């Protein structure tokens, strides 16, 4: 296996890991948002619009949390170069 194949394999694994991390944190955010009493914010809390807003909130929150974790992992691997 030459260098290009190693780089491609490494990038593929990194991409797969990032996808998994983002999906896990979106699921985690959905689970956490289930505990919020969002009923007071909506006229009809069981409507499709209310559920869609909850999905959007979980995606936005989950993605931001995942980006933090992914960046942290990336930064921590860069620190190996210092020592």
Domains of the chain, residue spans? 3-76
The pLDDT score that the predictor gives to residue 58 is 97
Q: What is the 3-state secondary structure (H, E, C) of 32-80?
A: HHCCCCHHHHCCCCCCHHHHHHHHHHHHHHHHHHHHHHHHHHHHHHHHH
pLDDT digits (tens, 9 = 90+) for 27-78: 999 999 999 887 788 888 888 998 999 999 999 999 999 999 999 999 998 8
77 vs 25, higher pLDDT: 25
Query: What residues contact residue 28 under an 8 Å CB cut-off, 6+ apart?
Result: 62, 65
CA angle, corner 24, sides to 8 and 54, nearest 5?
130
DSSP secondary structure letter of residue 26: H
């Amino acid at each position: 296996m030459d260098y290009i194949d190693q780089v491609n394999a490494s990038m593929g694994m990194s991409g797969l890991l990032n996808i998994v991390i983002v999906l896990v944190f979106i699921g985690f955010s959905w689970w956490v948002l289930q505990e919020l009493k969002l009923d007071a914010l909506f006229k009809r809390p069981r409507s499709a619009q209310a559920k869609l807003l909850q999905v959007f909130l979980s995606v936005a929150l989950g993605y931001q949390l995942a980006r933090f974790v992914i960046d942290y992992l990336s930064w921590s691997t860069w620190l190996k170069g210092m020592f």
